[in-house]
Structure 1
């Protein structure tokens, strides 16, 4: 059991109910201005904290972790993905890393379907015409999109979120195809009437819509590259709510501009908020500011998981959501 109140440094503003509870339990330093901390500020925070609560915008590499103070023993990440944290270095330095798995599953899956509908049914284009006051009335060939029912949806990564997407897709009449590191149990496949593809290339050539739901790891970096994009149908739509690094963004932009790819719905980007400006010019692309998990309920539940991980650690027990390098 940790003696005394833990010094907890939180890098971004969290929901008020989460911050209030955290203040009741620990000696907490909040980011009242909600301004992203610089590299130097993050290092300084790690030097004075027992527990750091970062989020996806805070990249903690080996060099930075090497400058962490001796008192830092836990990085309680506010979010499920931990690819922004060098977990190997943290582990070698005796720093535990936790995350918040399972909380954003339903919210992210909802956003996948929203993006699929937005791109295939050209919703933003219609909204732009209405907001500009340029609608001349209904016409038989105006804003024709694609019907979802009967189309093939390929899911890259069939974990919690991928399966939640499959459940929704099945209700929309989509044929579920998937590629995963491991094949699912036959009972799970039967539930979604899902077809497994051991070869990602073969799946890509057959699907009408691709939903990316795998984490960013060294093996998934640019997994959707120029070669694989050329395998897809020219009418195919790509949706990414996972990690931007999984797609070669420049190759995707070229494919969209040339008509080799039919459209894209992107909530995440390869270089964070620095988005390829050519993507903004394309009418067949829907861009969102990483809001796939942005619900009030989800954000509070994420905070509750962070609190549980810190509290369990403070009591001298293994945090329930501990992340080990071997798990990634």
Structure 2
């Protein structure tokens, strides 16, 4: 007698190929409207599922997990970050959590370099000038930006994405520096041409560009706070493609408005879609709608990892991308 198929509830629309494959393997319940579920809908989903497949838009806290019931056994997150999931409480309740690490590295690193170039070369300003039809022609002093070759890039968080950013920055002729909770091995530093700073304060004060590439954890919340932002040179630029919570967005906005920083490029925000309107109004700021990982290839690979994690769990084994509280 064959065993019954796992019931898998997916909270958002996924690529068609991913949804189709899930339907072949599991009793899958999809979200055709693609609207984020409210708390009541999430509770209902968790109570009726063996496996929940959430995304970053679903905040799964202790209160929500307390209403999950006994059926839910795996939260197979569609995404690498798990700061929206109370992993410790899930484990206490016997619920495993998996994620999709590694597949978005190159895409996010590409977007980091795109933001560095967009801010320093004033690309959005030039685009806006062309779209309004106000361009009067070339002039020697018009739309002057800055050359990135030779500039010091300070990478905050030298994991997979930070290292991928370093490789790209080297190709552009930037000097690569980094701060990480653990120093890289000597051969990796040599390969990346990267200089380690034990003191984040000292690194921040000497860089031309700061790239935030560390995850959001209790230890990294507002790591770039008002005091640390004030250490940056007035000519420096900050780029964040990691998590908005790592940067004190209000302090950053005040400094940009006061001319105490040259510019910023942001793909993530401290309050989700509620972006400070004063930040949006600044000409020296490039804002993107959390699209650093938005490639067709990346989204398909994320789905493949989710399916592998669920199928491995269904076969009675440990999901390959299992997240444990000590990792966070």
Q: When the two structures are superposed, what TM-score results if normalisation uses the length of structure 2?
A: 0.99
Q: Does 1:185 align with 2:185?
A: yes
Q: Does 1:48 align with 2:41?
A: no
Q: Give the corresponding residue for 2:220.
A: 220
Query: CA separation in 2, counterparts of 1:51 and 1:278?
Result: 41
Across the aligned residues of Structure 1 and Structure 2, the Cα RMSD in angstroms comes to 0.7
Q: Give the corresponding residue for 1:104.
A: 104
Q: Give the corresponding residue for 2:258.
A: 258
Give CA deviations for 1:50-85 in whole Å, capped at 9, x if unaligned: 000000000000000011021100000000000000
Give CA deviations for 1:228-272 in whole Å, capped at 9, x if unaligned: 011000011000000000000000000100011110000000000
Q: Give the corresponding residue for 2:244.
A: 244
| TM-aligned CA deviation for residue 4 of structure 1 | 1.2
Q: Give the corresponding residue for 2:231.
A: 231
Query: CA separation in 2, counterparts of 1:60 and 1:142?
Result: 50
| TM-aligned CA deviation for residue 220 of structure 1 | 0.2
Query: CA separation in 2, counterparts of 1:43 and 1:115?
Result: 38
SS for the counterpart of 1:64 is: helix
Matched length: 327
SS for the counterpart of 1:41 is: helix
Structure 1: stretches of 5+ with no match in the other structure: none
Give CA deviations for 1:260-301 in whole Å, capped at 9, x if unaligned: 111000000000011011011100000000000000000000
SS for the counterpart of 2:206 is: coil
After TM superposition, the structure 1 = structure 2 runs for residues 86-97 of structure 1, keeping only pairs within 5 Å, are 86-97=86-97
Query: CA separation in 2, counterparts of 1:211 and 1:223?
Result: 13
Query: CA separation in 2, counterparts of 1:264 and 1:43?
Result: 38
After TM superposition, the structure 1 = structure 2 runs for residues 126-275 of structure 1, keeping only pairs within 5 Å, are 126-275=126-275
| TM-aligned CA deviation for residue 3 of structure 1 | 3.6
Query: CA separation in 2, counterparts of 1:278 and 1:45?
Result: 38
Q: Give the corresponding residue for 1:307.
A: 307
Query: CA separation in 2, counterparts of 1:8 and 1:168?
Result: 39
